[in-house]
Amino acid sequence: MADARPKQPRFHGRVPGERQCSAPGCTEAGEFRAPAEEGPRSGYNGPGEWRFLCLDHVREFNARYNFFNGMTAEEITAQQRPYAGWERETRAFSPGAAGMPRWADFLDPLDAIQARYGTGRNAARQDGKPLSDADRRALRVMGLDPEVDRRALRQRYSELVRRYHPDRNGGDRTYEQKLQEVIEAYTLLKKAPAFA
């Protein structure tokens, strides 16, 4: 049974292409990349200059290559430290013009992402506080506008509990499901960032 996988190249690092070996007097194909002896070294601005060598010349180059060539004793010591490179400062991600919402303000992480990058479906209220889809559904259950404040939310909750509770409406148990929905909606909303 024949193996259907493509055959891997024999030598790692071979760069296909039509170029001649850059070693003086060599007519072989330059298939292996090596850093140029002169010119900028690889660093912040990119990989530096490259030259292409044949297999024999790249083996010769690798045998004599010295990473520390041209460095001072202090630079060599700095490169050999166990934590070399870790002290470099990295730039922080920009929060953007509107800033990032606090993850703790949301029950669902997708609501936080939607609040930051959404197209307006979960748009913030006029005071800038975000409302998730669950918050909007809970406000509809309670019959409230999204711009309502915490005090009006609490007043509406008290009004609906009095209306639907069997002890307050003469023992009528037909509204128990509605009462449960109101309690769940209020529990969700009082923890929402818009009403915190």
- Exposed/middle/buried for residue 182 (C-beta within 10 Å: 0-12, 13-18, 19+): buried
pLDDT bucket at 97, cuts 50 / 70 / 90: very low
* CA–CA dist 35, 15 (Å, integer): 14
Q: How far is CA 11 from CA 8, 32, 64, in A?
A: 9, 9, 19
* Residue, of 19 and 106, whose pLDDT is higher: 19
Give yes or no for residue 44 having a pLDDT over 80.
no
- Looking at the structure, tell me whether residues 107 and 187 fall in a common domain: yes
Together in a domain, 182 and 124: yes
H/E stretch holding 142: helix 133-142
Global confidence as pTM: 0.39
Say yes or no to pLDDT of 74 above 80.
yes
Of the ranges 66-70, 107-111, 127-131, the best mean pLDDT one: 66-70
**Co-location of 35 and 109 in the same domain:** no
Q: What is the pLDDT of residue 89?
A: 66
Pick from 61-70, 162-171, 180-189 the range whose average pLDDT is largest. 180-189
Alpha carbon 124 to chain centroid distance?
22
Token pair belonging to 10? 């024999």
58/135 same-domain check: no
> What are the contacts of 12-19 at 24+ separation with CB within 8 A?
15/52, 17/52, 19/52
Mean pLDDT of 47-68: 85
Are 64 and 113 in the same domain?
A: no
- CATH number of the structural domain spanning residue 170: 1.10.287.110
Mean pLDDT of the chain: 78
Is 37 part of any domain? yes
Residue 57 covered by a domain: yes
Task: Domain count for the chain, please give it.
Answer: 2
Is the residue at 61 inside a domain? yes
SS3 39: coil
Cβ-contact 144, 153 below 8 angstroms: yes
Q: Are residues 184 and 129 in the same domain?
A: yes
| Region of poorest pLDDT, from 11-15, 39-43, 56-60 | 39-43
pLDDT tops 70 at residue 85:
no
**131-135 average pLDDT score:** 85
Same domain for 110 and 158? yes
| Domain annotation covers residue 92 | no
CA distance 195 to 159: 18
**pLDDT over 80 at 94, yes or no:** no
The mean pLDDT of 42-49, rounded to a whole number, is: 65
Residue-wise pLDDT tens digits, 140-158: 899 888 888 889 999 999 9
Domain containing residue 178: 103-191
